[in-house]
Structure 1
Amino acid sequence: MILWILGLATLALYLSFILMKNGAWRSLWVGLSLVVLVGSLALLHFNDSNHFGMKQVTKSTTQVIYSASPSKQLPLLLYQNVGTSGKHTVYIYKTSAKGKATHTKADYTVTNLVAKAQPTTAQVTTTRKEWVYKSGFYRALFNNENNHAVIRVTNTFQLPKTWTALTTQQAKQLAKRIKAMQQPTAAQKAKAAAAIEKQVAAALAKNPKADAATVTKQVTAAYQAAQIQAVIKAVKGNND
């Protein structure tokens, strides 16, 4: 609407200044046209520079996310720096178990955080702060331009204890080390067996009535999990 007003004011100024004879009516039309023209330009400027006719609103949505890692036993939240400055980071995840991987937007208005909270399911809360028009009048006046312009987007990831956040490079290193763990040497097998046997014996001594097979299974699973966590810690500490 403002552009139509600007165009009509320009036309009225031209016609009144060129076609009308000198006199009060000519001066009135020239003055009115000039005021409307300058006022329209001022409104456009303030809308563009100071968001005139607009207000800030904040909206938050929470979504369950899934690991982009192919391993169900080792869910990962992957992230990667974009550019050489390291100021922008994108996080990679899935929005459905069988869907394709997606990622956060790399933009100066986007901030990504990994919270310390540990829910039962991985999730991301997206808080979007933006400019919207105060009313339908302003929206029509400025032809809906700049409506929903982003001020700031914050993605807050909350991960269960079973999840780990790694860079894509660290994830590649982890995959290699996990693969090597699945093909242990004879010495490594013997070391693991001895450690498990010792822990089983300690558990049975503490609770003689416990089922030996069940205890062995539990201890083995805990030992393997501890080994994987040790590898993850080593990978995260490796900056190469």
Structure 2
Amino acid sequence: MILVAISVFTILAFVCFIYINNKAASLILTLISVLGLIISSYFGVINWKNHYGLEKYTEATSKQVYSVSPSKQLQMILYQPIGTKNNKQVYIYKASANAKKTSTTQATSTTTNKLKSTTGNTRIVTKTVRWRYKSGAAKFWFGLTGENHKFVKRTNYIYVNKNWVTLTVAQSKALSKQMKSKTYQAKLKAEAKAFVTKQVTAAMTKNPTMSSAEQAKVTKQATAQFQAQAVQKLIASLK
């Protein structure tokens, strides 16, 4: 409505100044029209510049995210530093367990990502701040300015399960390269064999009558424990 008022007062000022023959009436009506134009323009400007008649509100959404790693034993979310100072990051994840492509958080100056630890599912809680009209009167006057629900800023709270790994893209590539190395695999195999043998021997020392099934269970647990430790050790070497 404020845009309509500006247009109407502009036309009235022109009509009153040009087409009214009575000079006194023309002057008075023109001044009133110009005053109306100035006032309506003022409120239009402060609505556009200072968001007069508007207030901020926050919307919150939450979504579970999934690991980018093909290995079920290594749950992972990645991030890529951006900007000349690397003071912002874009986080990389999968939107579903079966997703073939990865998704990312928004790479904009109005988006902030905050990493948090959790014991629950890894998820992203997004809080978006927008403008809206304070009242029905504000909506009436400024409804055509396009400021309602205008985006202000976004904050992504990324809750990462404590058992997950958070790496940069470069670290992820280095990790993959190292794990595929034949030298590393041979070393890992030898260390794994020694670790598992030690664990099984210790278990059998405590229980000499241990059955084959129990030995197999200890072997499986020791293998999983070694793999987890090996991955954590390798990841620590990359940071």
TM range (shorter): 0.7 to 0.9
C-alpha distance 26-208 of structure 1, shift in aligned 2 (>3 A): farther
Deviates more, 1:205-214 or 1:14-23: 205-214
Alignment correspondent of 2:170: 169
Query: Do residues 31 (structure 1) and 54 (structure 2) align?
Result: no
Residue type of the partner of 2:50? N
1:40 aligns with 2:43: no
Aligned to 2:218: 215
Q: Which runs of 4+ in 1 moved over 6 A?
A: none
CA–CA distance in structure 1, aligned partners of residues 42 and 49 of structure 2: 10
- Conserved? CA contact 2:122–2:158, under 8 Å: yes
The CA distance in 2 between the partners of 1:45 and 1:209, in whole Å, is 87
Whether the 8 Å CA contact 2:81–2:87 is kept in 1: the answer is yes
Q: Deviations over 1:62-87 (max 9, x none)?
A: 11111223333322111112232323
Shift in Å, 1:180: 2.4
Give the counterpart letter for 2:108 in structure 1: D
Residue in structure 1 matched with residue 227 of structure 2 by the alignment: 224
Give 1:133 deviation, angstroms: 1.6
Retained in 1: the 8 A contact 2:82–2:89? yes
1:82 aligns with 2:82: yes
Partner of 2:117: 116
Residue 59 of structure 2 aligns to a residue whose secondary structure is strand
Partner of 2:199: 199
Gapped regions of structure 1 (runs ≥ 5): none
Report the 3-state secondary structure (helix = DSSP H, G, I; strand = E; otherwise coil) of the residue aligned with 2:147: coil
The letter of the residue matching 2:42 is: A
The letter for the 1-side match of 2:133 is Y
Matches of 2:110 and 2:18, distance apart in 1: 49
- 2:167 aligned with 1:158: no
Please report how far the alpha carbon of residue 8 of structure 1 lies from its aligned counterpart in structure 2 after TM superposition. 1.3
- Do the aligned partners of residues 45 and 113 (structure 1) sit closer, same or farther apart at CA in structure 2, a change above 3 Å counting? same
Structure 2, unaligned runs of 5 or more: none
Change (3 A) 1:225 1:200: same
TM-score (norm 1): 0.87
User: What does 1:8-157 correspond to in 2, within 5 Å?
Assistant: 8-99=8-99, 100-119=101-120, 121-142=121-142, 143-157=144-158
Q: Deviations over 1:1-36 (max 9, x none)?
A: 322221111110011012213444323321221122
8 A Cα contact 2:16 2:26, kept in partner = yes
Paired letter, 1:131 = W
- Once superposed, what is the RMSD of the aligned Cα atoms? 2.2
- C-alpha distance 208-60 of structure 1, shift in aligned 2 (>3 A): farther
Contact map agreement 1:67 1:75 (CA 8 A) in 2: yes
Offset of residue 195 of structure 1: 1.8
CA displacement, residues 63-115 of structure 1 (integer Å, 9 cap, x when unaligned): 11112233333221111122323233211112222233221112222111111
**2:92/2:105 contact within 8 Å kept:** yes
Q: How has the CA–CA distance of structure 1 residues 180 and 31 changed in structure 2, closer, same or farther, with 3 Å as cutoff?
A: same
Identity, % of aligned pairs? 37
Note if contact 1:109-1:150 (Cα within 8 Å) is conserved in structure 2.
Answer: no
Offset at residue 214 of structure 1 (A): 0.4
Report the count of equivalent residues. 234
Residue 55 of structure 1 aligns to a residue in which SS?
Answer: strand
Aligned counterparts of 1:8 and 1:208: Cα–Cα separation in 2: 99
- Change over 3 Å in CA distance of 1:49–1:64 after alignment to 2: same
Give the structure-2-normalised TM-score: 0.88
